Amino acid sequence: MKLGKIIFWTLVFALIIVLAFVKIKNNKEAAAKMAPMGKGGPQTLRANGFIVEYSKLSNILSANGNVLAQDEVQLQPEVSGRVTFLNIKEGAIVSKGTLLLKINDADLKAQMYKLNTQQKIAQANVNRLAELIKIKGVSQAEYDAAENTLNNILADIQILKVQIDKTELRAPFTGKLGLRNISLGAMVTPTTVVASLQNVSQLKMDITVPEKYAGVIHIGDKMQCTVAGIDAPFSASIIAIEPQIDEMTRNLTVRALIQSASSKLMPGAYVKVDLKLKEIPNTILIPSGAIIPDDRFTKVVIADSSKAKLVTVQIGTRTENEVQIIDGLKVGDTVLTSGLLQVKPGMPVVFTKTTSNSAVQ
């Protein structure tokens, strides 16, 4: 009985020793994994680098725009009424002043007939009093009253002529008619859009560009434009720049005149624009992937004595793959282009590959 207890407790004790040994070994392995590489020093980061040097910035600004007609208007009547005349041929070219629509004005013409009759009577009365006043047959007050009556009638006639003119809808400029939205005999109001009229003899377009380009875009600059469905590109020239930046989008609107456009080009078309900006010599360009955005500052990482160092930079123009550095870097600095998520200030850096704008090392 005693021998069995001795064997039992011996086995328990041995098991405890084995478990303790395993735990100590696992702790050592975990500690070894967490320990930094090297003899107590920080980890070494292996990364790609870019050697800073002077370059020439030849930037092409890509933007989007919309084609516009030289003049465009939605044709709407000025008064309500029934259409008695309609001269809108869809797609036709009409000259300025062409009568396109007439609203029933029979009541106004009746009033005009009445006023014309009153005018004749009033005019005859004024003429008769004018002869009598010469021989002092009437007083000056009677003559003035008659003349005032005539002038009031003439004023009413002028008002009525304006009202009759408003029953007519004429082309405000020479252009091409769009689709007709009403038929003869329809009741229309000032909110009724009868058709559209566009002057397509000369097309223009509006382009939106980021505000940072406001200082480098000028009137007269040329741009190359392409439109889906039209093989041949066309050119345009900037004729006006919006004097303020949109507060919501932080964009600037630029208007350009299209030159030698295809006959297939229509107002409303979506245009892709390439504008070649002025070349800037002796500037610093680095890959855009090297930039670390921050809430307050823009930073990059350079290798200073083979150790990582965060540097605040001021950026200028951005291209598709590069960023212009205005301040913060100098020629000869090596900027990290990889490993930016693992890098820490002061960490040793070993470059596996370095490049530059002039050559690949």
Above pLDDT 90, what percent of the chain? 44
Between residues 195 and 247, which one has the greater pLDDT?
195
Q: Locate 312 and state its tokens.
A: 């605040």
The mean pLDDT of 172-188, rounded to a whole number, is 95
Task: Specify the pLDDT at position 41.
Answer: 53
Whether residues 249 and 265 share a domain: the answer is yes
Task: Specify the pLDDT at position 169.
Answer: 96
Give the DSSP letter string of 68-128. EEEEEEEE--SS-EEEEEE---TT-EE-TT-EEEEE--HHHHHHHHHHHHHHHHHHHHHHH
The distance from CA 64 to its chain's CA centroid, rounded to whole angstroms, is 8
Task: Give the pLDDT band (50/70/90) at residue 9.
Answer: low
**Which is nearest to 105 in space by CA: 56, 51, 164, 181?**
164
Determine, yes or no, domain membership for 17: no
Whether residues 263 and 302 share a domain: the answer is no
Contact 245, 252 (CB under 8 A): yes
CATH number, residue 327: 2.40.420.20
Looking at 135-196, list the stretches that DSSP marks H as alpha helix, in order from N- to C-terminal side.
Answer: 140-165
Determine, yes or no, domain membership for 321: yes
Separation in Å, CA 42 to CA 17, 26, 353: 36, 23, 21
Determine, yes or no, domain membership for 39: no
Determine, yes or no, domain membership for 35: no
Nearest 5°: phi and psi at 217?
Answer: -105, 135
Contact 287, 337 (CB under 8 A): yes
Contact 345, 42 (CB under 8 A): no
Whether residues 306 and 270 share a domain: the answer is no
Whether residues 65 and 202 share a domain: the answer is yes
CA pseudo-torsion sign 145, 151, 154, 159: negative
Contact 203, 267 (CB under 8 A): yes
Q: How many CB atoms lie within 10 A of CB 311?
A: 17
Domain count, the chain: 3
Whether residues 270 and 284 share a domain: the answer is no
Above pLDDT 70, what percent of the chain? 89
Residue 236 belongs to what domain range? Answer: 61-70+198-276
CATH number, residue 156: 1.10.287
Q: What pTM, to 2 d.p., does this model score?
A: 0.62
Task: Specify the pLDDT at position 182.
Answer: 94
Determine, yes or no, domain membership for 248: yes
pLDDT over 50 (residue 39): no
Whether residues 238 and 266 share a domain: the answer is yes
Whether residues 148 and 294 share a domain: the answer is no
**Which is nearest to 233 in space by CA: 248, 222, 243?**
222
- Residue where a domain stops, chosen among 276, 301, 321: 276
Whether residues 303 and 269 share a domain: the answer is no
> In this structure, are strands 45-51 and 349-355 parallel, antiparallel, or unpaired?
parallel
Task: Specify the pLDDT at position 133.
Answer: 86
The mean pLDDT of 136-158, rounded to a whole number, is 92
Determine, yes or no, domain membership for 191: no
Determine, yes or no, domain membership for 34: no
CATH number, residue 202: 2.40.30.170
The mean pLDDT of 264-268, rounded to a whole number, is 87
Contact 238, 255 (CB under 8 A): yes
pLDDT digits (tens, 9 = 90+) for 287-305: 988 898 777 788 999 998 8
Q: Locate 311 and state its tokens.
A: 């540097």
Using DSSP's 3-state secondary structure scheme, residue 290 falls into: helix
Whether residues 66 and 208 share a domain: the answer is yes
**Which is nearest to 252 in space by CA: 227, 223, 276, 217?**
217
d(CA 285, CA 301): 15
Whether residues 215 and 252 share a domain: the answer is yes
pLDDT digits (tens, 9 = 90+) for 301-346: 999 888 889 999 988 777 778 888 889 898 989 999 988 888 888 8
Whether residues 210 and 229 share a domain: the answer is yes
- Residue where a domain stops, chosen among 276, 301, 325: 276
Determine, yes or no, domain membership for 175: no
Using DSSP's 3-state secondary structure scheme, residue 129 falls into: helix
Whether residues 209 and 272 share a domain: the answer is yes
- Residue where a domain stops, chosen among 113, 148, 166: 166
Task: Give the pLDDT band (50/70/90) at residue 55.
Answer: confident
**Segment among 60-74, 104-118, 182-196, 280-294 with least mean pLDDT:** 280-294
pLDDT digits (tens, 9 = 90+) for 17-27: 777 776 666 55
What's the whole-number average pLDDT of the chain?
86
